[in-house]
Chain A
Amino acid sequence: MRVRFGIGLMALLVLSGCSGTPAVPQGVPSAPAPLTTTPAPGAGLGEQPPASPAPETAIVVPDVPRQNSSIDAQVTREVVPPVNISVADLELDMPVLGMGVDGDGAMDLPQNTGEAGWYRFGPAPGDPAGTTVIAAHVDSAIYGLGAFARLREVTIGVPVTVRTADGAEHRYTVSEVVRTPKSDVPLGDLFDREGAARLVLVTCGGEFDRSTGHYLDNVIVTAVPE
């Protein structure tokens, strides 16, 4: 008892030294680049099909993709949202709600620490590519400590199951656990839409700054499909 408490106290005394500066907004457009024109004499469309450049001698009508642009012909992306996440090893089992962006441009999260939020503008578990981001408040003055607080204890290889609204269970295996100062979190990479399909679980951790009411770190758990 005394020994364990001593370790806990040491952990309390460790300062990670990270700063509380806000994360840099992603995707801010830079100043317009100058318009530069490089004349390409003879570079006709027929000689430059997009996928596989044909030899310059080829005289064929290129296979340009075509679609009906009529507003009635538009198909909207079908998304099957996640509704539950469970990590048996952590005794974590909680509902998942689709969430967007708050007034400051940050990811919005359910106030209830017993509920997780899925970034609904990004990929979903059934999507062939990109990162499904599920995050939850680690604590709340009303709801207390949340189950996502136990993400710190997760180890590589632990199974994670996400159930989607169609009843399908998507199984993942934890591949990485990191704790990063919020100012260093690679948000563009974390919310990736094109890379290999993966699940990223996020909560807060590290030091707590009472003057701002924010933790200084994000705990980021990456899991890959089984």
Chain B
Amino acid sequence: MHSRILAGVTVGAIALVGAALPANAAEESSAKLSVLHGVPDLPVDVYVNNELTLDNFAPSDLAGPLELPAGTYSVAITAADAADASAPAIGPVDLTLAAGGNYTAVAHLNAAGEPTATLFLNDTTATAAGEGRLTVRHTAAAPAVDVLAGGSAVISGLTNPNEQVLNLPAGTVSASVAAAGTTDPVIGPADVTIADGVNTIVYAWGSLEAGNLALAVQTIDGLSSAPHGIPAGSVGLAADSDTGSLVWLGSAALLMLIAAAGVTVSTRRREAAQSK
């Protein structure tokens, strides 16, 4: 049991190394950690470095984010009525948190239905103006799945405990989860909000066999970018001057002529009025 969990965490850690960290990562010495409970029907206690950190943590609960100094933490998850961390149901596992990283540790079932834990690194790189990010994580006791939006697969063949990340225009996506290669939903359809500058992380968790598959949502905001500019004119009617041509010189000359004519006309009118 232990060795299998550790192996799973190692795979996760290898996947993390290649992922992008936020631009300011080097300046920070702390990391952010959230914890998601994705094991059905099992209230737990979460111990970090043997300290009880989450007491009576219920399925579907999301805790955090905690701001922690970068480093390696030992996490053990016990049944909620355990007296201490000596007989964990999951772990203990070592979670290595790099400076500037934003992580979610998920207690969940593996594809075979056994409790395990996976550490995911959340993508907190900036999103383009008008876009949000959708991260889908397979943490359910279920085979490979497709994620369907508007009836067609936007993610194909996602397996436990992996993720896929999409950058999408802000809006609402009606998403459902189906067994890979099929379109008959096992979860959903459910409306998922894609907000500008927000990484919306959707977890499929639970067990297909037990019929308790569900979706959990975590959001990480503050990733927005400003638009590239505000192009608010197109003709030049309000311009101080033109560049790129000498048209304005001609216009100015014309305006001078009109003005001169106006002065002449008004002078004549005044003279005419005075003569009356």
Residues of A whose CB lies within 8 Å of any CB of B are 1-2, 5, 9, 11-16, 20, 22-23, 25-30, 32-50, 59, 61-62, 64-71, 74, 76-77, 100-101, 104-107, 109, 119, 121-122, 135-141, 144-145, 148-149, 152, 182, 185, 187-188, 190-191, 193-194, 202-216, 218
Closest to A188 in B: B226
Q: Which 7 A-B pairs have the closest CB atoms?
A: A27-B225, A204-B233, A208-B239, A101-B130, A208-B236, A46-B51, A27-B126
Chain A residues, Cβ within 8 Å of B190: 71
A214 to B238, CA, bound (A): 11
Instruction: Offer 11 A-B interface pairs, CB within 8 angstroms, sorted by A.
Output: A25-B228, A28-B225, A32-B19, A36-B70, A40-B69, A44-B51, A48-B67, A138-B233, A145-B237, A191-B226, A193-B224
- Segment from B92-100, B155-163, B178-186 that makes contact with A: B92-100
Q: Among A77, A121, A139, A218, which residue has its beta carbon within 8 angstroms of that of B230?
A: A218
Given contacts A26-B226, A193-B224, 19 further A-B contacts (CB under 8 A): A1-B263, A2-B263, A5-B259, A12-B240, A14-B241, A29-B125, A38-B70, A38-B71, A43-B71, A45-B51, A45-B66, A100-B130, A121-B129, A137-B233, A139-B235, A185-B229, A208-B235, A208-B241, A210-B245
Q: Do the beta carbons of A44 and B50 come within 8 Å of each other?
A: yes
Q: Do the beta carbons of B230 and A135 come within 8 Å of each other?
A: yes
Q: Do the beta carbons of A32 and B21 come within 8 Å of each other?
A: yes
Q: Do the beta carbons of B231 and A39 come within 8 Å of each other?
A: no
Q: Does B26 contact A (CB under 8 A)?
A: yes
A140 to B237, CA, bound (A): 8
Chain A residues, Cβ within 8 Å of B22: 29
Residues of B whose CB lies within 8 Å of any CB of A are 16-17, 19-23, 25-26, 29, 36, 48-55, 57, 60-73, 96, 98-101, 125-130, 170, 190, 192-193, 195-197, 202-203, 214-219, 222, 224-245, 247-248, 252, 255-256, 259, 262-263, 266
Closest to A35 in B: B98
Chain A residues, Cβ within 8 Å of B130: 100-101, 105, 121
